Amino acid sequence: MSSRHEATGQPTSRSASPIYSRIAGTGSYLPPKRWSNEDLVAWLADRGVQTSHEWIVERTGIEARHFADPDVTASELGLQAAIRAIEAANCSAADIDLIICATSTPDMVFPSTACLVQKKLGVHGCPAFDVQAVCSGFVYAMTVADAMIRAGSVKRALVIGSEVFSRILDFKDRTTCVLFGDGAGAVVLQASDEPGIVASRLHADGQYADILCTPGTVKGGEILGDPTLKMDGQAVFKLAVNVLDQVAHEVLDEAGRTPDSIDWLVPHQANIRIMQGTARKLRLPNSRVVTTVDQHGNTSAASIPLALDHAVRSGLIQRGQSLLLEGVGGGFTWGAVLVDY
């Protein structure tokens, strides 16, 4: 006897082709105001904080970063990155049916930064929401978008990472204020009959919440607690290298691949020593690590899509190559996505 679907001429779930998601386009945007280490060192010295270009480079690999003007928000940066990604994907904003924004520095408590980008794009009706996983946020957002595309609920997703971390820095703390910058990156994921996102893994462990956090909040119209970033750098470094190595092997094992199959490692741009330590554990040469931390600083959830777009537009990353995207951040959160680009 034929099933109900066969009787009505509809394909059965067993015969339906699987749906995958692929990166159709990338985009990024940096605020015009570039601050070299020398610029920042001089600015901090005027405020009684002493550091040096050499000290910053030796510990982080950072030489410059971009800071947004006071009236520029995460949604503004995200909008510019989104426009570029949509153009690269050869589609229009009207074709987007899901918007996810990864950010820890939203424009306001609510609505979400994603909804504000949606408004500025002139898109109406599709789901739009933020993901808050700090520096792992873009990996989290890509994984969620991939799952929704695979489920068949959306066909084309705009995934954004956008941050204005300069707003939450304590410029009296030289160990943290020299690390971060502002910026945004985005990708358009679209449904495909060929795998693009091959495997992904996400993790979190809240017992490490205090080693990287911004503990302030709003209560009764006033700030409760400290609204600036706090970090135990040594604890973050030790944990980051270990969990990034573990999650990289998890996605490779899921895909049945080995580290030498990776053409490019596109890590969260936190610190050159963390990035090189991760590559070393995977036995990848530094020449196969996409590196923008030297010019962008740590842009949190924006760092992976910024680095990805830079590598795509500069010709480093080519179609047909295998990419490993991975991030680690406050929460403590970490994750990785294996991509056939």
- Out of 37, 66, 115, 135, pick the active-site residue: 135
- Residue 315's nearest CA partner among 283, 282, 290 is 290
Query: 16: pLDDT confidence band, cut at 50, 70 and 90?
Result: confident
d(CA 38, CA 94): 44
Q: What percent of the chain has pLDDT over 70?
A: 96
According to the model, what pLDDT value does residue 12 have?
Answer: 45
- Residue 156's nearest CA partner among 95, 81, 86 is 95
Instruction: Compute and round to an integer the Cα radius of gyration of the chain.
Output: 20
Q: What percent of the chain has pLDDT over 90?
A: 95
Question: For the chain, which residues make up each domain, given as ranges?
Answer: 20-193, 198-340
CATH of region 198-340 = 3.40.47.10
Tokens at 58, concatenated: 């030796």
Determine which helix (DSSP H) or strand (DSSP E) holds 160, and give its type and residue range: strand 156-164
Rounded to an integer, the average pLDDT of 256-284 is 96
- Residue 145's nearest CA partner among 79, 77, 93, 197 is 197
Tokens at 79, concatenated: 């909008």
According to the model, what pLDDT value does residue 17 have?
Answer: 83
According to the model, what pLDDT value does residue 7 have?
Answer: 39
Instruction: Please compute, for residue 18, the number of CA atoms within 13 A of its CA located in the half-sphere on the CB side.
Output: 8
Looking at residue 339, its amino acid is V
According to the model, what pLDDT value does residue 13 have?
Answer: 45
- Out of 101, 115, 177, 268, pick the active-site residue: 268
Instruction: Please compute, for residue 292, the number of CA atoms within 13 A of its CA located in the half-sphere on the CB side.
Output: 30
Rounded to an integer, the average pLDDT of 120-138 is 98
d(CA 63, CA 319): 30
Are 20-193 and 198-340 equal in CATH topology? yes
Looking at residue 258, its amino acid is T
Determine which helix (DSSP H) or strand (DSSP E) holds 39, and give its type and residue range: helix 37-45
Whether residue 213 lies in the annotated active site: no
d(CA 71, CA 77): 11
d(CA 244, CA 333): 10
Residue carrying structure tokens 């426009």: 83
**Residue 2 burial (CB < 10 Å; 0-12/13-18/19+)?**
exposed
Is pLDDT above 50 for 43? yes
Residue-averaged pLDDT of the chain: 95
Is pLDDT above 90 for 52? yes
d(CA 183, CA 163): 6
Is pLDDT above 70 for 8? no
pTM for the model stands at 0.94
Task: Count the residues in the chain.
Answer: 341
- Residue 131's nearest CA partner among 340, 271, 329, 341 is 329
d(CA 97, CA 85): 15
Cβ contact 161:103 at 8 Å: yes
CATH of region 20-193 = 3.40.47.10
pLDDT, tens digit, 9 for 90 and up, residues 68-120: 999 999 999 999 999 999 999 999 999 999 999 999 999 999 999 999 999 99
Whether residue 298 lies in the annotated active site: yes
Rounded to an integer, the average pLDDT of 189-196 is 96
